Amino acid sequence: MTPDQLALGAMTFRGRDFEASLDAARRSGFPAVGISVAQCVACLERGIPPEAMAEALRDHGLRVAELELIRLGERGIARHLNALVIDLIGILNPDRVHVAAFSGTLEDAQREFATLCEEITTADVAFEFMPYGTVRDLPTAVDLVRAAGSPRAKLVLDVVHFFRSGADIADLTPDVLALTAGLQLSDLVPRPGKSLAEESRHLRAFPGDGVLPLADFLRAALAASGDTPPPVTVEPVSDALETLPVAWVAERAMQSTARLLTAANRPR
């Protein structure tokens, strides 16, 4: 893995000042960040249009690794946010656009994902399966991506969703890694009585601070991907961490990830 493959995920900046978040990411050595549609709406409310966001990213020497999130199967107000994500692609120039499905049927997700892969021509279209979503596991997500029949159709392997959906290290085959646009790293500690969604959206930890076998996960992903390991995003989504200074969170994310990559025999 090369340094330009590391990114600090959008959910690390959830509810935070945009400029301060960029400062923190850059100072901690991240060459790229994730951007969410919610951040773009929040910036608009502060008088910062997407074009100004793109300029701020350039000024900080940062690129957009991930733009999220298009929600498949939506028939309500979220469809307008999906349209905004599409509009933002040409302004923010992300490496990949993340897609998930929380509503509708599996058939809806398959049809809409294939359509997106035809519509989006300048970035990978990466599907993120979640055990509490419409597409709940790796085999179903692989089938969805392959059915799209597009070279831009890809997977996102979020380590929390990977393990919580019942996947195993042995599932990280060369065929799966060939479809993978990115890995998302965080960690978990046991939370009795918490739902999968609550755990994922509010209670994550920095990589290496929990109980998930992350070093083994990375070793297997590296072995299966050969000379082209997928990019890595760090995304410790946590309500508690959101109460701490963003500069501290970014620095701690870099430190914990560097240690993990070393443990997995992956140079930073």
**Would residue 145 count as lying in a domain?**
yes
- What is d(CA 148, CA 263) in angstroms, rounded to the nearest whole number? 36
Q: How many residues does the chain have?
A: 268
Confidence of residue 262 (pLDDT cuts 50, 70, 90): confident
Question: What is the DSSP pairing of strand 232-234 with strand 63-72?
Answer: unpaired
**Would residue 44 count as lying in a domain?**
yes
What are 238-254's pLDDT values in tens digits? 999 999 999 999 999 99
- Backbone phi and psi for residue 61, each to the nearest 5 degrees, phi listed first: 70, 30
What are 132-149's pLDDT values in tens digits? 999 999 999 999 999 999
Mean pLDDT of 204-222: 95
**Would residue 83 count as lying in a domain?**
yes
- Per-residue confidence (pLDDT) for residue 5, from 0 to 100: 73
CATH of the domain at 25: 3.20.20.150
**Would residue 130 count as lying in a domain?**
yes
Nearest residue to 39 (alpha-carbon basis) of 65, 60, 59, 21: 21
What are 154-192's pLDDT values in tens digits? 999 999 999 999 999 999 999 999 999 999 999 999 999
Q: Is the pLDDT reported for residue 105 higher than 70? A: yes
Q: Are 206 and 259 in contact (CB under 8 A)?
A: no
What are 110-136's pLDDT values in tens digits? 999 999 999 999 999 999 999 999 999
* pLDDT, greater one: 58 or 258: 58
- Mean pLDDT for the chain overall: 94
Helices (H) and strands (E) in the chain, counts: 11, 8
Query: In this structure, which amino acid lies at residue 44?
Result: L
- Per-residue confidence (pLDDT) for residue 1, from 0 to 100: 61
Count up the domains in the chain and report the number: 1
Nearest residue to 62 (alpha-carbon basis) of 104, 30, 14, 95: 30
**Would residue 88 count as lying in a domain?**
yes
- Per-residue confidence (pLDDT) for residue 263, from 0 to 100: 85
For residue 123, what are the domain limits?
3-263
Q: Is the pLDDT reported for residue 229 higher than 90? A: no
**Would residue 268 count as lying in a domain?**
no
Mean pLDDT of 82-86: 95
